[in-house]
Chains A and B, each alone.
Chain A
Amino acid sequence: MEKKSSESLEKYPVIEVSPHLKATSTTFTIMWAVSISLIPAALWGVISFGWYSLVVLLASIISAVAAEGLVNWGTKRLTIHDGSAFLTGLLIGFNMPPEIPIYIPVIGSFFAILVVKAAFGGLGSNWMNPALAGRVFVFFSFNQMGGSCWKKPRFLPEMVDSISSATPLSVVKSQGAECGINSFEFLKQMGYSHSAFDAKLTDFFNSSFGLTLPNGYFDAFVGNIPGCIGEVSALLLILGGIFLLAKKIITWHIPVAYIVSFLLFSWIFGGLQTGSGYFSGDAFFHLFTGGVILAAFYMATDMATSPVYPKGLIIYGVLLGFFTFFIRVFGSFPEGASLAILFMNMFVPMINKLTKSKPFGYVKTKKEAK
């Protein structure tokens, strides 16, 4: 009898508590799938801004992974291979201007992993998005972040220095107040150029749909504009986001709520900034020239720092849209997405509490309610 049971123990070694089936997605597949979906946008950034931007990306990734390794060494728990540190590093690199001195993303990565993530208990326990916190930390610590690190993308014709060393958003923000015209129109007056590709598409749309679009939207959409390494190509980021949606890694709630609310707020109130009144804001200019697309698909959907119930996700997305718009148009910075997300991170526990539904069988029946 004894012998028999030990035999069977060798034969069927796995004795586990149910369930015996598991869904295929794991922490590892989620983190690596998100990283993979960012590769096209990363490649575009490198093509557009040159080899140095690859160095920036690698420096952020390596330092984030090294910081995670340091934490692993200290806590004696191996988490370096789960891909989350890699992803944090990659996202920090995405949020860096292409000509940034290399030590800045390195400091950002270390801050993100050591202070924002590990100090609060590691993966899943941080209340603030580590990549954004790292970015905002260096943004406030080094004035180069706002200054001379921008670079004209490869496929945009030469233009005036004062324009090519800034992002379209910051030009409009700093000089375009009360100009009373469309943002791209204004940029053109300032000496901002556009590619032949954009001219063709704009002509095509204007002639076939009877529109009067100024040049620049299509450059902005595909990513042919100055900006941070990873956030310029709305097209590739949207494709990556669709991949994540198809893989069911993220749900539609945050991206859709965020983008729709951002567009609506920018359209209704965005015109106040340029002096053209209500319902005249250039919503698509705001959507495609900054970090909103990257933020909506990749930053705001960070699992640990977003609400958990569908209703909460929508509230979160709508408020993000509002604050991003608000900071961008009325605040003192050209960019609003990072700060809006960090700000909204604080409200996540509250949103969770408010949107929590009662457990099954606790809903009062009509009789009890009487």
Chain B
Amino acid sequence: MIKVKSFGRGGVHPSGYKKLANSKSIKRLVYSGNYIVPMSQHLGAPAQCLVSVGDEIKEYQLIGEAAGFISANVHSPVTGKVVGLRQISLPNGAVSNAVEIEPDKDFIDNMSSQQNDNSDFNLDEMPSEILIEKIKAAGIVGMGGATFPANVKLSVPKGKNCTDLIINGVECEPFLCADHRLMLEKGDQIFKGIEILKKILNPDNISIGIENNKKDAIANFININAEKGVGCNIQPLKVKYPQGDEKQLIKAIMGKELPSGALPIDLGAVVLNVSTVHAIYDLFYNGKALVERVVTVTGDAIANPSNFLVRVGVPYSFLIEQAGGFVDEVKKIVSGGPMMGFAVLDTSVPITKGSGGILCLSKSIVRDKHTTNCLSCGRCLNACPMGLSPAMLYKLIDSGKYGPAMKMGLMDCKECGCCSYVCPAAIPLVQGFKLGKRMGRK
């Protein structure tokens, strides 16, 4: 019996709602309308746009070049013609430059039959520097949501060693099951991706953290692992939010707390999401730059919750339509998971590299909570996985004392939402912290 692990303090247990879509296999979506590809789909500086209106471009062609170390390339998801360059608002409310591409008709017709498994890829012949270079060129970023450029994580600084490679298959956000489906359906491919990472990092241990509510995925991985003899440690984890966070996952698997301000590599760890690993597989075996991902479209207000394999640049409205549209009055549409995702105003926003899900929630889930005085009940203190004092921080921010709030560890807050989730007084704690961080940085 394998020991089920978890991170120590804090955390919450929201209802999972995973059953809505976790039995739906991944379906490829072909969209024939105009693709809107933002230049900022990652953490860091927006990419520099390389095309202008009227240009004919090819699928996987570089259209945005990384502007700096923490930045990522952007490629065209389709073959077609640039018909516009404009500013759009992203699902998270930020404004970004975007390229509007009218896809070629023949290309769209052939898209669903595309098969190009480049099985002659030989891992042994590739030095690891070139592998990292290729990952960088393909614009691969962390697809768990934070969209941190993958090549930066994989470039281990001099004097440091990667001892632990941790593959993140936790998917602790309720509702989402894109990673779950990927682990079930593309397990072989993920393991091929892991072999590539093994070659790059040469770690002592490889662990795959999966929460216990995905028993089928755990079983699948244990089988493949035994078959292929990769020597991974498949680690079942107790279901607890926010286990998918890098710091909590390192704590759960390695038993070490990442010091404040340090990077995982300081403890010898590199953490990558399963969908990122799959994107790396896709790059080397299928020659694909990162232009597509699996998106869960779910919620209690959607007719047929589904998992779609879709290109970036497709508007949310198309995915919602393909999932059967709404069955109930929609109160909120959320991009990402319900705990950290963003409520969107406009469904014309496009899918980006970081969009893991679209949730359509009715009023039975989006409850109105009336804000009252803080009861000093201490639930937020015991829920905070970072061991901060949310109620106290909020009081400081509320009275404009950003300096003292920063000293109490405001910057260690990662806005996971556990405090707001448990707060019986419905105090908008996370909102306060977002404001406090912005004001405190000034």
Contact = CB atoms under 8 A, between A and B. Distances in A.
Interface of A: 4-5, 8-9, 11-30, 79, 82, 121-125, 303-304, 307-310, 356-363, 365
Chain A interface, DSSP helix/strand/loop, else mixed: loop
Contacts of B359: 20
Interface in B417-438: 417, 420-426, 428, 430-431, 434
A365 B370 contact: no
A362 B260 contact: yes
A9 B346 CA distance: 8
Nearest to B422: A23
Given A15-B343, A123-B375, A303-B375, A361 B331 contact: no
B338 interface: yes
Contacts of B421: 19, 21-23
Contacts of A19: 338-340, 417, 420-421, 430
Nearest to B435: A17
B377 to A, nearest CB: 4
B361 interface: yes
Contacts, number: 169
B421 to A, nearest CB: 5
B367 A22 contact: yes
B14 interface: yes
Contact of B369 (A4, A26, A310, A363): A26
A359 B409 CA distance: 8
Interface of B: 9-10, 12, 14-15, 174, 247, 251, 256-262, 330-334, 338-348, 359, 361, 365-367, 369-370, 372-378, 381-382, 385-389, 409, 412, 415, 417, 420-426, 428, 430-431, 434
B137 to A, nearest CB: 33
Contact of B346 (A5, A28, A82, A307): A5
A21 B14 contact: yes
B244 to A, nearest CB: 14
A18 B15 contact: no
A358 B421 CA distance: 22
A361 B341 contact: no
Nearest to B317: A8
Query: Closest 7 CB pairs between A and B?
Result: A308-B378, A19-B417, A361-B260, A303-B377, A359-B387, A17-B431, A360-B386
A307 B378 contact: yes
Contact of A16 (B10, B340, B343): B343
Given A360-B257, A361-B258, A15 B345 contact: yes
Contacts of A308: 376-378, 381-382
A250 to B, nearest CB: 10
Contacts of B257: 360-361, 363
A18 B339 CA distance: 6
Most-contacted residue by chain A among B334, B340, B424 (CB, 10 A): B424
A71 to B, nearest CB: 12
Contacts of B372: 26-28, 79, 82, 123
Nearest to A30: B424
A82 B387 CA distance: 29
Contacts of A18: 334, 338-343, 415, 417, 420, 430
Contacts of B339: 18-21
A16 B428 CA distance: 10
